[in-house]
Amino acid sequence: MSSKVTKIVIGKGKTTGDEKASEWTRRYYEVEVSIGDEHEIEIAKANVEGLIDGWLGKPVEAKPKPQEPTGKPEAPLEIEQCFPKELAELLNFEDKGTWIRVSPKQFLGSDNFARVLAIVKELKGEYVSAGKGSHFRIPKVEG
């Protein structure tokens, strides 16, 4: 009898506070992910860890965004310009009609994943978890 991994649960927490005042705050997030292909488990785990790290407020370098468009971006090039150069070089930008698909060219790691996710959320976008087809989705400006 063989077993197949179809789901993983990943949890992470962070405790912050003032030791002198004995005031502590603990935040904990747990994410459950369904896995279609058990060979994708490491990719799913790394992506979820990056997501949770972003939620926990892991320091993300605040760099000015070059040529930030006003309102929502309209084209892949405008979206690409919202990312620091070193991040944009790791990503593909593809026009999908009413939205832009941003997908990694390679494994991002948890730090870069969190940085990309923070920018995508500023642009009212989202992360779409789909195994090898996982990507970020950013809506285009209407009109």
**Predicted local confidence at residue 77, as pLDDT:** 76
- The pTM assigned to this predicted structure is 0.50
**Predicted local confidence at residue 70, as pLDDT:** 46
pLDDT digits (tens, 9 = 90+) for 71-103: 445 667 788 888 999 999 999 999 998 999 999
Low-confidence ranges of the chain (pLDDT < 70): 1-2, 58-75, 142-143
**Predicted local confidence at residue 1, as pLDDT:** 59
Burial (CB count <10 Å: 0-12, 13-18, 19+), residue 16: exposed
Pairwise CA distance, residues 87 & 108, whole Å = 9
**Predicted local confidence at residue 54, as pLDDT:** 79
**Predicted local confidence at residue 61, as pLDDT:** 42
**Predicted local confidence at residue 117, as pLDDT:** 93
Q: Which residue has the tokens 């949890």?
A: 11
φ, ψ of residue 30 in degrees (nearest 5): -135, 130
